[in-house]
Amino acid sequence: MNLLEVGQSVLGQVQRAARSAQAEIFLLGSESRSCEWSGTSPENKIIAQSQGLGLRLIREGRLGFGYANRWDKDALELLVRRAVAASDSTVSDPLLELPEPVSGPSTNGLDLVDETLAQTPWEARARFLETLETDLKKRSPRITQLLRGSYHEGRAQVAVLNSRGFAGTYEGTRAGFSLAAVAVEAGETQIGYAFQGVRHHADLKPDWVIQRAAEHTVSLLGGKQIPTGRYDLVLDPFVAAEMLELLAGALRADNVQKGKSFLTSKLGQSVGAACLTLADHGRLPRGLATAPFDAEGQPTQKTRVMDRGRLQGFLFDSYTARKGKTRSTGNAGRASYKGLPEPEASNFYLEAGSQTPEQLIGNVRSGIYIRSVMGLHTVNIISGDYSLGLMGERIENGARTHAVRGVTMAGNLLDLFRNVEAVGSDLIFSGSVGSPTLWIRDISVGGV
């Protein structure tokens, strides 16, 4: 039985059990394979399959919810009974209802499926892991060990159906490669990481990942503190993407409406430098978070949330859109079939500039190239205040001179984004969040 057939069966049971209820079914089926290597030996070859569905039921504004990972008749009947019973004990919310279907969700041009994954033997695609440690050590004599390398691939199918007439399904594939390298010099050991995730295996670049991991690891050796002062910062694209993830959370309409975002009441205002333009693109071809429709069946779209530093909008699902008297941006997401939909970013990225990373670094007289930040989980998303540890390389007169560690920076995210001087041309995605290199001027750094 396919996903849509399962969903239609559950909808039929809901209509018989609670005729006046609105019902929404979210279904997910997936299969994946992964392999890990440590040194020259394979470890943990795993083949996995999973399936599940979540039922959201609304009766006169009262919510009932349940989920199941078995799709036999008895399990689904029990799921419906429990969801109906749950709706009897919740408080009515007049804004709570399912969205009306909108025509237009299409997979045309999204390019989400790599059929070669099913056509090529698994061993052939993972063969590069056999020589991974040898390839890694060739990058630098200071690289002593492959701590861990992994390759994974999978295929998933999503379906959404509701009692208001929407029924849709789509599939997507993904492949990913990551590694951790060890570098040693003068008794000091450092570990560096690199990874890449893609929809199509052909887009995977193992050589680029290996080189990046080697450079990252070696660059951390010999780190020392620098004097406290004000420095320009050049953020590696992966570090910049981590900072943008914080911004994506602050742009969720539910956080904004609850006053839990430092961007509350900032709509239409300048919240970043004029060189910053941010987009959330749910239909980005081959994007890891691309889909024809969101977790409620609403069409996805490209939403420009910041235009030349000015805040243009937020990320809405149907509930927050109804509350804000606007329309959904197609940003309803679910952590899994076990959770309710809520606003979340899709492919969230900073549009690229015109200068290469080398040109940005060449413009810096006194600064730090940031390769790693510590403490992002402590950032206060309500106020925007942060205090972070930094690791990277000292920049002096346009050149990287030595490793830096044991330094910190503290401030507010609004000030940080307003101080961005230039954006690089090297847009790189870290999962579904992308950023180029960023040059940020005049930031207070704590050292010695």
Domain parsing of the chain, residue ranges = 3-218, 223-448
**Confidence bin at 104 (pLDDT 50/70/90):** low
Q: What is the pLDDT of residues 382-416, one digit of tens each?
A: 999 999 999 999 999 999 999 999 999 999 999 99
Indicate if the pLDDT at residue 274 is higher than 70: yes
Cα distances (angstroms) measured from residue 155 to each of 28, 265, 335, 443: 11, 41, 17, 44
Q: Please state, for a pLDDT cut of 70, what percent of the chain lies above it.
A: 99
Phi, psi of 157 (to 5 degrees): -125, 135
Q: What pLDDT, on a 0 to 100 scale, did the predictor assign at position 41?
A: 72
According to DSSP, the β-strands at 332-333 and 433-435 are: unpaired
**Confidence bin at 123 (pLDDT 50/70/90):** confident
Q: CA-CA distance, 78 to 84, in Å (whole number)?
A: 10
Cβ atoms 110, 289 nearer than 8 A: no
Q: Which two tokens stand for residue 87?
A: 């709706």
Cβ atoms 302, 279 nearer than 8 A: yes
Phi, psi of 282 (to 5 degrees): -75, -5
The domain 3-218 is classified under which CATH number: 1.10.150.120, 3.30.2290.10, 3.40.50.720, 2.40.50.1020?
3.30.2290.10
Q: What is the mean pLDDT of residues 175-195?
A: 95
Q: What is the pLDDT of residues 302-357, one digit of tens each?
A: 999 999 999 999 999 999 999 999 999 999 999 999 999 999 999 999 999 999 99
Cβ atoms 10, 53 nearer than 8 A: yes
User: Following CA atoms 117, 122, 126, 128 in sequence, which dihedral angle do they give, to the nearest 10 degrees?
Assistant: -90
Cβ atoms 136, 181 nearer than 8 A: yes
